[in-house]
Chains A and B, each alone.
Chain A
């Protein structure tokens, strides 16, 4: 089955700096690569996703890049703000029915004001 690893497990940055979180997966058939954000006490919510026919996707301050050959994808947050403080999860999966989705263990991001 899919083995998913996220690094780092904790990340602390100064407000305005950039943050990068990496997700490594094992199943080369995976073709859908989302990132979820979970603020304290709230449910995880999708913030950005990418499919395997695209190498990079950007949405304002966040971006996701994919390296299918190396089997990893990364979340990039630029100009970080205190409200970016949260736990971020990756969840690579197959874009087919009946799939089993494994989430990474999560990365806790602290943005210091």
Chain B
């Protein structure tokens, strides 16, 4: 059974703090993604990674960075949290294309920045 886990379900941080969101998958998937989900805006891609130490910007990378030191772990970093980064953050992984790039999502981290 595929498992994608995220380090926290709920997180409250103060403006200006550095925030780390961790995601771990146990299916040896090459591709990992970070999305944020806001009401009426759907899922917006922040960053993705298709290999260890590789990263690509998504549609809304500003204010975020990522790290992928190991295949199973993909971290999202908010360098200096701001109130407009209050959101639900979803991590996902997917397998090699010949298996179909279907996504497996983590449970999400609801981040509140005050």
Contacts and interface: CB of A to CB of B under 8 A. Distances in A.
Contacts, number: 66
Given A43-B107, A102-B59, A32 B100 contact: yes
Interface string A13-52: 0000000000000000000101010000001111001010
A100 B58 contact: yes
Given A89-B42, A98-B50, A100-B45, A44 B90 contact: yes
Contacts of A104: 42
**Interface size band for A:** 20 to 34
B66 to A, nearest CB: 14
A101 B41 CA distance: 15
B34 to A, nearest CB: 12
Interface in B33-59: 33, 35, 40-43, 45, 48, 50-51, 54, 56, 58-59
Contacts of A69: none
Given A32-B100, A103-B42, A104-B42, A43 B105 contact: yes
A105 B41 contact: yes
Contact of A101 (B100, B101, B108): B101
A46 B33 CA distance: 16
Contacts of A101: 33, 45, 48, 94, 101, 103
24 contacts: A1-B59, A32-B100, A32-B101, A43-B90, A43-B106, A43-B108, A44-B43, A44-B103, A49-B102, A89-B43, A91-B103, A95-B101, A97-B50, A97-B97, A98-B50, A98-B51, A98-B54, A99-B31, A101-B33, A101-B94, A101-B101, A102-B45, A103-B35, A105-B42
